[in-house]
Chains A and B, each alone.
Chain A
Amino acid sequence: MSDVNNEALEQAPIKLVMNQLPAIDVPFESPLHHVELAKIAEHGESQGGVVFRELSLGLLTLRCTPNAEQATSIEAILGVALPSKPLTSVSSASGELTVMWISPDEWLLQVPQDKAFELETRFFAEVGGHYSLVNVSGGNTVFELSGEDVVKVLKKSTPIDFHDSEFPVGKVVSSVFAKSGATICRTAEQSYQLVVRRSFADYLWLWLQDASKEYGLTVTC
């Protein structure tokens, strides 16, 4: 495989596109690997007002100010247009891909882990002009928080307004979260995704356990 990659490097001197997933079976350790969530899920509380799950997804940061041509080719690859309305997200029909608006020239793409390289390769082949697409799957993790008390925990953690009128399903914000940061997306009536930086994951896990304590915390896998 490495030969292939070095060839790719030679063929693609403008940008480096690299498959970062091992071809052989190698242990994968998410940022909360050491917490052993599976054990907690098995032995922990099952009726909590807050439900926690760590998702391991392929994440890519797209930075671009798309011209018409780029917008067309990007939509052709993603199957959906980049959401241009601030603080919104769109998902593909299959639900396999979600695009979150981050800033006027930045989006976060969520795909299954093994689709990240494919996406990068297609962008490289099909999107011209100035943009940058960077695989950040290892640098972040996704916490899924749900349950009837989930908003109370969020309100303890960030100054964002989570009222239905202000934070409908699909909305996404990047903000301070406790003393770290998170990109927060409402994925369903009572379900939110937090995209957090890998190195802060342990701190945020401690924070969320603490903030959920009075409502009960259920871990699922």
Chain B
Amino acid sequence: MSQKNRLQDGGRIDRSKPLTFTFNDESYQGYAGDTLASALIANGVDVIGRSFKYSRPRGFVAAGAEEPNAVVQLGATEATQIPNVRATQQSLYQGLVAASTNGWPSVETDLMGLVGKIGGKMMPPGFYYKTFMFPQSMWPTYESYIRKAAGLGRASKEKDVDIYDKMNQHTDVLVVGAGPAGLMAALSAAQGGARVIIADEQSEFGGSLLSSKETIDGKPAMEWVAQVVAELNEFDDVLMLPNSQVNGYHDHNFLTIQQHCTDQFADRAPNGAVAQRLHRVRAKWVVLATGAHERPLVFGNNDVPGCMQASAVSTYINRFGVVPGNELVLMTSNDGAYQTAIDWHDAGRHVVAIVDARKNPQGSLIDAARERGISIMVGSGLIEVQGSKRVTGVSVAPLNESGDKVTGAVAKLKADTVASSGGWSPVIHLSCHTGARPVWDDEVIGFLPGPTVQKQLTAGAINGAFTTQAALSQGIQAAADALASLGLEVTDLSLPKTEEVIQDKAMALFHIPHNKPTSKAPKQFVDYQNDVTAAGIELACREGFESIEHVKRYTAMGFGTDQGKLGNINGMAIAAKALQKSIPETGTTIFRPNYTPVTFGAIAGRDCGELFDPKRFTAMHAWHVEQGAKFEDVGQWKRPWYFPKGNETMQEALNRECLATRESVGILDASTLGKIDIQGKDAREFLGRVYTNAWAKLAVGKCRYGLMCGEDGMVFDDGVTSCLGENHFLMTTTTGGAAHVLEWLELYHQTEWPEMEVYFTSVTDHWSTMTISGPNSRKLLEKLTDDDVSKDYFAYMDWKQMTVAGVPARVFRISFTGELSFEINVQANYGMHVWKALFESGEEFNLTPYGTETMHILRAEKGFIIAGQDTDGSVHPFDLGMPWAVAMKKPFSFIGKRGMQREDCVRADRKQLVGLKTVDPTVVLPEGAQGVFDPNAPIPMPMVGHVTSSYWSACLGRSIAMGFVKGGHDKMGEKVFYPLVDGRVVEAEICQPIFLDPKGERQHV
């Protein structure tokens, strides 16, 4: 198809650069500088999609962000699919592929269209609520068809190959919108020395001037724009962002801007380039120069393709050199829209008539239209459009003074295009994001930004200042206000001059009456995207919805991806009238972020794939990988889970690791344990207050285990703390609890006991920690050190400084396995060396690396708890059977002391930690299984506690488990039953939670 609607010349497109693109599988041609919308209009494409509910054919209404119908699916390949793209905002590029999102099976022949036609009367507001709710079980079925029929676009089924990222920005002044007000504000602010960011959603700066024939300082307006852009370019501290939508205005003047970097120009970003970037801007001042959207009028069949905003028609003609039809009827309530008829006429096409609702409009544009011989029908309204896939004619009738009643005979005119204008709605969306309630203005006939707590200024059409002259002047003023507040000098900028236009008063007209009552008239659409009609809103009001928020939800007005940019004001006006209230009394719904839909890619940024979450590694990680370790996530750490050899199953590997450790020697990378260096003369007392046990007498060179509780007396962490010097301790914490424990210590020090002389420093990452454990661990250590590691010199729960494999080390004789153990700590840069040296010397002892799983088994055999596994924030040390770890008589008290003595905490039937031996030793209880005393009790059975730890113990040749049982400490030898989901009931005997070496002889050798 040729570009039948393209003008020979004019516009900001480059006719020397033709571009080929595809829409709904048809190939078309447009030009560089086109949007997808302007190129489709040039090619005479009228129907771009089908409507949401009635499936009526829909065409282009607007030329910018407010477009409700032309929402397309973009993407030449599966991986580059982007839903929800407004064709009016998408730049055309070579090879662009787009498709309608509404219309099933196709936009031209649509099954749902029949439903809409036949069922139109049967689909009132609340239709879905009323119809598809019963039976409730069918909703998922209904929903899938409704969704398919509604066509909301779709996500890619493949991984998105493009790069989306984020960038943090700071600025003195962020100017939103690069029309005359925004450009003037940015230039003034920059000249005053401010740091400036100016962002605009369009591919070029200029805003309304891009499609205007005005002059500024006697030159075409876009020459002035080019000059301002060139001047802004000279400033180092000015960042200009075209193709960038300011989508969210958040607290503390934090705004988010979605910049289209390459996806406006290419289906897929060229190698390495960023497709979209989310700018996270912190601005000292924000100048909203967001302009206004023209409000189309509501009349019968106003959704038939060919019905457009008047300004959009002008934009297509003036900016893109495209006339969207041949025979125009303009319907207006104001002077400004006359320009569209003038533009149409000047483009060499026929203006059938201008229909003006006002009785006697006077003004320079009206004169200009008259001079061109255009017929003007005053005091009239366009009450109805004829046509289905394209306008074929219109019905015009005289209206009364207030424009709410047809007063005479209906005349029919032939036309293929209807431009309408009910005035302009300031774009107050971003202002609303700050929580500001919009304020109605009768002069402007629209809502203005309400008072805000943010450092926000406004300039231009957003304030209802609709002339270019006013926009320029307000831009200067906004910048001056910002500069003054920033303490910067305001330079005197001369105000550029524009032509004076004398305009008559506009009429507040939203809904053109029909000669039939609204409920019987052809559909008069208010919200195109959600198929909300004037009749629907009136019905909602009759059905008792009085709050505008309820009307909105009941009718779904403003619920689409366009957030009702075009329809909301008309809808409120219609609701106000139906409720016999004024518009300010009716109030308005407010807009929330985001202004236009944002891709998930831009929101996710680079926090995906490998970078989704940090992976923390120890100094020996490369060795573990080389040895084929399986890893387990512990917090953000990657810890070896087990080290399978050959084709070993996990259980086989665990059995081997456990036996090797108990029989000879095993090694664990324990570097991830939290380590906190504690210094100060009050360090010891501080430990006594945060741990439940006593620390007053721990001698230098000794280590002690401690439990940490919250104020409620419940255990949250545990570990060994060693006395390095009289005023110097090293605390260890669980791997996952390290950061919290440090914060806990700082919290108490800073807020409760600031008088205590103590400092805490994290040394978790500084030390590599390797634990050798097993009867041969001393022999192994002896091979690598000249220091005395004999039982007499280096006793259990001692620590020593020594040199291991040539590296200064702190070695702790503490044991989590119940075996003779040495925990060797060296500065992490030497960790790998010492680790490898241990393996070189350990060969003769079959030194076996083991991971977290074997560690868990070995400690469970000894009944040692793991905070976070055998505790869940609801158990205190007595529940755990650890009264020996609580020193109730400490002079100062300790955190949790009072909590664990509360009435509920001393009940005899609390859930208490016990050992569990299954009667059938081969059965391993699942962790989390709930116990009952009577397996035959009626359901719901009283549950008495769950299994917290459960393993196969190769050393004992049977299963072992730990778990909570109500009153369990007094039930030794009794039975508890575990009914499992598979129907089995496992019987277990309650025992002391220590299965191996109850006297602790092995670790004391």
Contacts and interface: CB of A to CB of B under 8 A. Distances in A.
B614 A180 contact: yes
Contact of A211 (B606, B762, B827): B606
A15 B725 contact: yes
A15 B805 CA distance: 25
Interface in B547-568: none
B610 A206 contact: yes
Contacts of A206: 610-611
Given A2-B801, A26-B807, A139 B763 contact: yes
A20 to B, nearest CB: 4
A179 interface: yes
A198 B282 CA distance: 31
A203 B724 CA distance: 33
A53 to B, nearest CB: 17
B630 interface: no
Contact of A14 (B677, B727, B808): B727
B170 A199 contact: no
B614 A200 contact: yes
A174 interface: no
Contacts of A115: none
A18 B807 contact: no
A199 B606 contact: no
A12 interface: yes
Given A138-B768, A211-B606, A63 B833 contact: no
B637 interface: yes
Given A15-B679, A18-B801, A20-B827, A179 B808 contact: no
B229 interface: no
Given A2-B787, A6-B801, A198-B765, A28 B830 contact: yes
A138 B168 contact: no
Interface stretch (A70-78, A84-92, A126-134, A184-192): A126-134
Nearest to B170: A161
A28 B828 CA distance: 9
Contact of A135 (B611, B637, B766, B787): B766
A159 B761 contact: no
Contact of A56 (B167, B766, B802, B829): B829
Interface stretch (B216-224, B337-345, B617-625, B977-985): B617-625
B986 interface: no
Interface in B2-42: none
B648 interface: no
Contacts of B195: 163
Contact of B616 (A30, A159, A199): A199
Contacts of B810: 18
B832 A29 contact: yes
- Size category of the A interface is 35 or more
B801 A5 contact: yes
A136 B766 contact: yes
Nearest to A159: B168
Interface string A13-31: 1111011111110111111
B235 interface: no
A140 interface: yes
Interface in A106-141: 130-132, 134-140
Contacts of A171: none
B725 A203 contact: no
A22 B765 contact: no
A198 B170 CA distance: 30
A20 B272 CA distance: 44
Given A15-B727, A138-B765, A26 B808 contact: no
Contacts of A214: 272-274
Interface string A29-45: 11101100000000000
Contact of B614 (A34, A156, A179): A179
B337 to A, nearest CB: 45
A158 interface: yes
A13 B830 contact: no
B724 A15 contact: yes
Interface in B739-796: 757, 759, 761-768, 785-787
Nearest to B606: A210
Nearest to B757: A130
Interface string A181-221: 00000000000000001111011101100110110000000
B803 A2 contact: yes
Most buried by A among B680, B759, B806: B759
B893 interface: no
Contacts of A29: 619, 829-833
B763 A132 contact: no
B622 A34 contact: yes
B607 interface: yes
A26 to B, nearest CB: 5
A2 B759 contact: no
Interface in A147-181: 152, 155-156, 158-161, 163, 166, 178-180
A29 to B, nearest CB: 5
Contact of B766 (A64, A137, A207, A210): A137
B835 to A, nearest CB: 10
A155 B169 contact: yes
A9 interface: yes
Interface string B680-701: 1100000000000000000011
B291 to A, nearest CB: 29
Interface in B819-878: 826-833
B614 A198 contact: no
A93 interface: no
Given A9-B801, A130-B757, A199-B765, A16 B728 contact: yes
A26 B768 CA distance: 15
B830 A26 contact: yes
B613 interface: yes
A1 interface: yes
B637 A159 contact: no
Contacts of B806: 22-24, 26
Nearest to A179: B614
7 contacts: A15-B725, A16-B801, A22-B803, A22-B830, A28-B829, A161-B170, A214-B274
Q: What are the 7 A-B residue pairs with the smallest beta carbon separation, nearest first?
A: A139-B766, A139-B765, A138-B828, A132-B679, A199-B616, A132-B759, A161-B170
Interface of A: 1-2, 5-6, 9, 12-16, 18-24, 26-31, 33-34, 56, 61, 63-64, 105, 130-132, 134-140, 152, 155-156, 158-161, 163, 166, 178-180, 197-200, 202-204, 206-207, 210-211, 213-214
Given A13-B700, A61-B761, A135-B827, 5 more contacts: A16-B801, A18-B810, A155-B168, A198-B619, A199-B617
